Chains A and B, each alone.
Chain A
């Protein structure tokens, strides 16, 4: 009887120590930090660094899997894009970049609106939107 009473007391006590952790329906999906970022226009000094794509949206999302950029301080850059296909393949290129009034131009390609939020760089253009995350220095 005492043993049973002890078990009941322990169970009641334990129930108070172990909180309920049911996942709310709105939290079931995988969330990214992009949704909470505060974006401001990018400036020259924001660009240099090594970046990897975190999010690709728009028309190019159907053909582009990942993108990597290394922006140099002197206005030069090199990049690699993993293009979807059977099989997927990398496309690499190098060139020059120029940033003015929040508009980034890579070589003579069309301009893209460039914004930053911490270590993230977001580029918007006719083909869609891409968010790059700085990968640190090397």
Chain B
């Protein structure tokens, strides 16, 4: 029993020792492994550190590159913005000048442009202003604007599709084709009148220089004379002529003439008429003419469309020309015709007219009273 216990004890001790040895051995292996692992980790860490360093360097380089690139881009954009601003400013100046010119032409007393045409031009200008807020589109030209405005002293800059500004490229700006003059008359709008005809709208303006034509059927020129026997009048109903006048500014641009045949004058007595034809030498000097040269207005009533003043001109009778001044009143009637009425004394001797004198007993006064009663109609404006 004792031996058995000793044997068991010895075996247990051996087993315990063996186990211990094995454990120690295992621990050693593990320690080695751990150590090896630690070394490998160090290496990996070192590698990672190296990698990080490399990445850091790369990132730094990239950052620097980006900074440089972005800076350059920012500079380019700033320059582009500045250049676009300059181009916009030049374009706006040209448009403003065009609008001013249109405004002046609107205010000028000349053939009035179709309002529709002016409106369309203004709409186009407004559209151009809107388009000018962004990159200049193709077809927007400063050259066409310069038709009405001075051309820009420097070429504007074009903006390419990429948005980069190319300073070297000249401007290509073209306004849609438009008439050379905004005052070119366009077909007048028509409306259906109560007469069932399509009538153009009446565009008469009191303040406008127009050519006027004497309405022969509604006009008369005559004179009042006196003699020792009686007083008498003579008149012609064949007055004709044209004149240029602006009723609102009668002194501006007045010109033209009116005339009538001497043979058309009648005094109501055939015998007296025959003598008058002889005195005036109607065969050699068939017409009496009044050439208009100026007007001094004493009253211009734009609302009532009436004028008072003195017409200045020269009259030619029997081949002799002499200045005359005729005070007149002028009124625009309901038929849009000018009614011109006036009178002035005339000395027949100024025109070398031999004053009739029958044996000193029947004498005519050398001074007669010339009078006019004329109606004139504005002639249609000529299409340009």
Contacts and interface: CB of A to CB of B under 8 A. Distances in A.
Interface of A: 7-8, 11, 14-15, 18-23, 25, 28-30, 55-64, 67, 79, 81, 83-86, 88, 91, 93, 95, 106-107, 109-112, 123, 125-130
B194 A110 contact: yes
5 contacts: A7-B361, A15-B229, A28-B373, A60-B199, A110-B192
A15 B230 contact: yes
A20 B361 contact: no
Contact of B334 (A11, A22, A58): A58
A93 B194 contact: no
B194 A18 contact: no
A106 B202 contact: no
A36 to B, nearest CB: 17
B382 A86 contact: yes
Contacts of A60: 193, 195, 199, 202
Nearest to A112: B194
B196 A83 contact: no
Nearest to B362: A11
B202 A62 contact: yes
B194 A23 contact: no
Interface stretch (B39-47, B125-133, B219-227): B219-227
B334 A91 contact: no
Given A21-B268, A86-B382, A95 B194 contact: no
Given A28-B373, A29-B373, A61-B336, A20 B232 contact: yes
The A interface is mostly helix, strand or loop, or mixed, namely: mixed
A15 to B, nearest CB: 4
The B interface is mostly helix, strand or loop, or mixed, namely: loop
Contacts of B63: none
Contacts of B237: 30
B375 interface: yes
A83 B381 CA distance: 13
B194 A125 contact: yes
A86 B218 contact: no
B164 to A, nearest CB: 55
Point out which of B217, B336, B343 has the most chain A C-beta atoms below 10 A from its C-beta.
B336
Point out which of A57, A61, A91, A93 has the most chain B C-beta atoms below 10 A from its C-beta.
A61
B192 A91 contact: no
A123 B194 contact: yes
Contacts of A29: 220, 339, 341, 373
Contact of B220 (A14, A22, A28, A83): A28
Contacts of A64: 195, 197, 199
A125 B202 CA distance: 15
B380 interface: yes
Contact of B218 (A30, A106, A126): A30
B233 A62 contact: no
